Amino acid sequence: MMVAPELFMTLSSVARTLAGALAAPTIQAVALRELNKNPS
């Protein structure tokens, strides 16, 4: 079964958006923890 390129592009775009939405809070939490560990 062939998958339409448009469908594949949409799915990969949605997956990337979801990954970004999940990763952002984690990166933010890690960054905050590092900042708190090393006050400037």
pLDDT above 90 covers a percentage of the chain that reads: 85
Residue 9 pLDDT exceeds 70: yes
Structure tokens at 5: 């390129």
Determine the length of the chain: 40
Range 2-23 average pLDDT? 93
Distance of alpha carbon 10 from alpha carbon 18, whole angstroms: 12
The pLDDT-based confidence of 1 (bands split at 50, 70, 90) is low
pLDDT at 40: 62
Indicate the pLDDT class of residue 3, thresholds 50, 70 and 90. confident
